């Protein structure tokens, strides 16, 4: 059974490599261009690059945001903000929200498929990890929903935490779908308004304060939740 699972994983990795090879053969400069744009952190440059795809710009942007969230790098805020600049705030937010949700779902499936078995073996040897794993299966939706609501929280860490836990795919997808809308909106609007601050400075200040309040609330919740768990275990 393990041998069969290993063969499937090798086959899946082979298909991913084949896809990358096809993209390279179609456009050898694509990965270098994309890498340079991603590392630049320049929102205007990202927007120009996406716009260079003309009528396919929205499709390309969707796939780009999807891949960034599936990989967990670079920060998706750059692309969410660029979408708001290119397509308008509301359409840009919706596009980024849907693409991010699909991206983190793909990441969850890949990480769980590749590493959950190994994680289970490690968890089985540690009573504390097993307890955390049981909690993730029981309260995974609530925990993930709260975490996804927080802007600027590293998506890659949440993807890995969900995939390596007992959390169900349904709970994970629902938590991401619901939680990512407000967090993506805040990130996109702050990025958009930072570039166009002269147009609406008050909205930028409001969104920064809102993001700070949400982040602060999350850490207070985590601190209280950790204390509660420690008291229950004590």
pLDDT digits (tens, 9 = 90+) for 134-147: 655 667 788 888 88
| 20 in a structural domain | no
* Helix, strand counts (H, E) of the chain: 10, 0
Residue 22 lies in a domain: no
The closest alpha carbon to 217, from 183, 185, 184, 190, belongs to 183
Q: What is the largest CA-CA distance in the chain?
A: 62
Stronger pLDDT, 18 or 183, i.e. the higher one: 183
The CB density around residue 32, as the number of other CB atoms within 10 Å, is 10
**The pLDDT value given to residue 173:** 92
98 lies in some domain: yes
67, 23 contact by CB (below 8 A): no
* Structure confidence at residue 1 (pLDDT): 47
The number of domains in the chain is 1
Who's near 165: CB < 8 A, 6+ residues apart? 133, 136, 137, 140
212 in a structural domain: yes
Q: Residue 124 falls within a domain, yes or no? A: yes
CA 109 → CA 148, 205, 225, distances in Å?
17, 38, 28
Is there a contact between 107 and 78 (Cβ–Cβ < 8 Å)?
A: no
Residue 62 lies in a domain: yes
> Is there a domain that residue 129 lies in?
yes
Per residue in 77-100, pLDDT (tens digit) is 888 888 988 998 899 999 999 999
Q: Is residue 16 in a domain?
A: no
φ/ψ bin of 167: left (φ > 0), alpha (ψ from -120 to 50), beta (otherwise): beta
Domain span holding position 192: 40-233
Backbone dihedral region for residue 168 (phi beyond 0: left; psi -120 to 50: alpha; all else: beta): beta
Which pTM does this prediction carry? 0.75
| Contact predicate 103/68, CB 8 Å | yes
148 vs 75, residue with greater confidence: 148
């Amino acid at each position: 059974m393990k041998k069969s699972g290993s063969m499937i994983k090798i086959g899946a990795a082979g298909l991913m490599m084949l896809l990358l090879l096809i993209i390279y053969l179609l456009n050898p400069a694509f990965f270098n261009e994309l890498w340079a744009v991603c590392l630049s952190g320049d929102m205007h440059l990202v927007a120009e690059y996406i716009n260079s795809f003309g009528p396919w710009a929205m499709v390309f942007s969707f796939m780009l945001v999807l891949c960034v969230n599936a990989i967990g790098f670079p920060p998706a805020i750059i692309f969410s903000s660029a979408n708001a600049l290119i397509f308008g705030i509301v359409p840009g937010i919706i596009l980024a929200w849907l693409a991010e949700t699909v991206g983190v779902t793909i990441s969850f499936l890949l990480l769980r498929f590749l590493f959950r078995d190994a994680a289970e073996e490690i968890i089985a040897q540690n009573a504390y990890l097993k307890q955390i794993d049981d909690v993730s299966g029981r309260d995974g939706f609530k925990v993930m929903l709260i975490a996804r609501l927080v802007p600027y929280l590293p998506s890659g860490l949440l993807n890995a935490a969900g995939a390596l836990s007992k959390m169900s795919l349904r709970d994970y997808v629902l938590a991401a779908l619901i939680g990512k809308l407000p967090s993506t909106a805040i990130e996109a609007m702050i990025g958009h308004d930072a570039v166009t601050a002269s147009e609406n400075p008050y909205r930028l200040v409001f969104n920064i304060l809102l993001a700070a309040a949400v982040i602060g609330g999350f850490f207070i919740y985590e601190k209280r939740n950790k204390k509660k768990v420690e008291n229950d275990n004590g």
